[in-house]
Amino acid sequence: MIMTKADMVGLVYERIGVSKREAASMVESIFDIIKESLEKGENVKISGFGSFNLREKKPRRGRNPQTGEEITISARRVLSFKSSNVLRDQLNS
Domain 1-42, second-level architecture: Irregular (4.10)
The count of C-alpha atoms lying within 13 angstroms of the C-alpha of 90, restricted to the half-sphere facing its C-beta, is 8
For the chain, residues with pLDDT lower than 50 are none
Domain 43-93 CATH superfamily: IHF-like DNA-binding proteins (4.10.520.10)
pLDDT (0 to 100) of residue 76: 94
d(C-alpha 63, C-alpha 78), whole Å: 20
pLDDT (0 to 100) of residue 72: 93
Count CB neighbours of 83 within 10 A: 14
Please list the residue range(s) of the chain that carry CATH number 4.10.520.10.
Answer: 1-42, 43-93
The pLDDT tens digits for 59-81 are: 999 999 999 999 999 999 999 99
d(C-alpha 9, C-alpha 19), whole Å: 10
d(C-alpha 70, C-alpha 62), whole Å: 6
